[in-house]
Structure 1
Amino acid sequence: MRRKFLFFIVLLIISLTVAGNVNLRDLTANEWREDIAFLERTLVKQHPDAFNKVSQEEFTRAFQKLQTDIENLQWYEIYTSLTALVAMIGDGHTVIYPYTVLRGFPVYPYSFKDGIYIIATDENNRELLNTRLVGVNGLDMKELLDVLRPVVSHDNEWGFISALPNYFTRVEIMKALNLTGEGDGLKLKLDKDGEIFERIVLPAEGDFQWVQERAQKTYIGQTNDNYWYELYPDSKLLHFHYDSCKSQEGKPFIFFICEMFSYMRRQDAERLLLDLRYNGGGNSLILEFFILRMMLDCKYNREGRLFVAIGRETFSSAILNAISMKKRTRAIFLGEPTGGSPRHYGAPRSFTLPNSGITVHCSTTFWRTTSDTSEAMMPDILIERSFEDYYYMRDPVVEYIESLPIPE
Structure 2
Amino acid sequence: MKKLFLLFLGLASVPAAFSQGASGIDWAADLDYLARELPAKHCNLFAKYDRARFESAIDAIKASAGDDGDFATALKTQQLIARLGDSHTMLYFNQLINRQDILPLGLLWVSDGLYVIRTTAENKELLGHRLTAVGEAPVRTVIDSLSTLFTVDNEAMVKSMIPQLFPSLQLLEYFGFARNRQVELTLDGSITRTLKPSEPQQAAPAAFQPDSLPFALAARNVLFTDRYFPEEKIYYILYNSCWGRESEAEFNSREKAASLPSFTEFCEKAFGILQDNPVGKIIFDMRNNGGGNSAQGTAFIERLAGMLKQHPGIKTYVIIGRKTFSSAILNTMDFKKLTDAVIVGEETAGKPNHFGEVRSFQLPASKLTVAYSTKYFRRTDDEAGTITPDVRIEMSFADFTKGIDPVYEWIKAQ
TM-score, normalised by the number of residues in structure 1? 0.87
> Which residue of 105, 124, 127 corresponds with 1:129?
127
Q: For residue 278 of structure 1, what is the aligned residue in structure 2?
A: 288
1:122 shift after superposition: 2.6
Whether the aligned pair in 1 keeps the contact of 2:11 and 2:97 (CA below 8 Å) is no
C-alpha change, 1:383 and 1:63, in structure 2 (3 Å) is same
Say yes or no: does 1:345 pair with 2:319. no
Whether the aligned pair in 2 keeps the contact of 1:280 and 1:318 (CA below 8 Å) is yes
| More deviation, 324-333/292-301 | 292-301
1:285 shift after superposition: 0.5
* Residue identity in the other structure for 2:14: S
How many Å separate the matches in 1 of 2:73 and 2:302?
A: 49
* Residue identity in the other structure for 1:203: P
> Which residue of 90, 98, 109 corresponds with 1:95?
90
C-alpha change, 1:279 and 1:47, in structure 2 (3 Å) is same
C-alpha RMSD of the superposition: 2.5
Say yes or no: does 1:205 pair with 2:199. yes
Say yes or no: does 1:15 pair with 2:14. yes
Q: For residue 5 of structure 1, what is the aligned residue in structure 2?
A: none
Say yes or no: does 1:73 pair with 2:68. yes
Say yes or no: does 1:52 pair with 2:62. no
How many Å separate the matches in 1 of 2:204 and 2:36?
A: 40
1:11 shift after superposition: 6.2
* Residue identity in the other structure for 1:234: E
C-alpha change, 1:27 and 1:129, in structure 2 (3 Å) is same
Whether the aligned pair in 2 keeps the contact of 1:231 and 1:238 (CA below 8 Å) is yes
List runs of 5+ in structure 1 lacking aligned partners. 1-8
1:179 partner SS: coil
> Which residue of 9, 28, 50 corresponds with 1:33?
28
How many Å separate the matches in 1 of 2:63 and 2:40?
A: 23
Whether the aligned pair in 2 keeps the contact of 1:14 and 1:101 (CA below 8 Å) is no
Whether the aligned pair in 1 keeps the contact of 2:237 and 2:284 (CA below 8 Å) is yes
C-alpha change, 1:223 and 1:197, in structure 2 (3 Å) is closer
What are the Cα deviations for residues 152-177 of structure 1, in whole angstroms up to 9, with x where unaligned? 23432211221112222222222111
Q: For residue 149 of structure 1, what is the aligned residue in structure 2?
A: 147
Q: For residue 327 of structure 1, what is the aligned residue in structure 2?
A: 337
Whether the aligned pair in 2 keeps the contact of 1:295 and 1:301 (CA below 8 Å) is no
Q: For residue 190 of structure 1, what is the aligned residue in structure 2?
A: 187
C-alpha change, 1:174 and 1:316, in structure 2 (3 Å) is same
Q: For residue 173 of structure 1, what is the aligned residue in structure 2?
A: 171
C-alpha change, 1:199 and 1:375, in structure 2 (3 Å) is same
1:331 shift after superposition: 0.4
What are the Cα deviations for residues 97-136 of structure 1, in whole angstroms up to 9, with x where unaligned? 4545413211022321111112222333222112111111
C-alpha change, 1:304 and 1:175, in structure 2 (3 Å) is farther
List runs of 5+ in structure 2 lacking aligned partners. 1-7, 246-257
1:25 shift after superposition: 5.4
Whether the aligned pair in 2 keeps the contact of 1:215 and 1:392 (CA below 8 Å) is yes
1:369 partner SS: coil
1:319 shift after superposition: 0.3
Q: For residue 215 of structure 1, what is the aligned residue in structure 2?
A: 210
Whether the aligned pair in 2 keeps the contact of 1:351 and 1:360 (CA below 8 Å) is yes
1:262 shift after superposition: 1.7
1:283 shift after superposition: 0.7
Q: For residue 390 of structure 1, what is the aligned residue in structure 2?
A: 400
Tell me the matched-pair count: 388
> Which residue of 109, 115, 129 corresponds with 2:107?
109
How many Å separate the matches in 2 of 1:238 and 1:98?
A: 41
Q: For residue 232 of structure 1, what is the aligned residue in structure 2?
A: 229
1:297 partner SS: helix
1:398 shift after superposition: 0.5
1:185 shift after superposition: 1.0
* Residues 292-307 of structure 1 mapped to structure 2, 5 A cutoff: 292-298=302-308, 302=312, 305-307=315-317
Whether the aligned pair in 2 keeps the contact of 1:352 and 1:360 (CA below 8 Å) is yes
1:241 partner SS: strand
1:57 shift after superposition: 2.8
* Residue identity in the other structure for 1:247: G
Say yes or no: does 1:370 pair with 2:365. no
Whether the aligned pair in 2 keeps the contact of 1:77 and 1:173 (CA below 8 Å) is no
Whether the aligned pair in 1 keeps the contact of 2:95 and 2:368 (CA below 8 Å) is no
Q: For residue 317 of structure 1, what is the aligned residue in structure 2?
A: 327
| More deviation, 144-153/333-342 | 144-153
1:355 shift after superposition: 1.6
1:256 shift after superposition: 1.4
What are the Cα deviations for residues 324-379 of structure 1, in whole angstroms up to 9, with x where unaligned? 11001110000011101110011111222222122221111111122231000111
* Residue identity in the other structure for 1:91: D
Q: Percent of aligned positions with the same letter in both sequences? A: 29
C-alpha change, 1:390 and 1:11, in structure 2 (3 Å) is farther
Whether the aligned pair in 1 keeps the contact of 2:105 and 2:118 (CA below 8 Å) is yes
Q: For residue 251 of structure 2, what is the aligned residue in structure 1?
A: none
How many Å separate the matches in 1 of 2:227 and 2:264?
A: 18
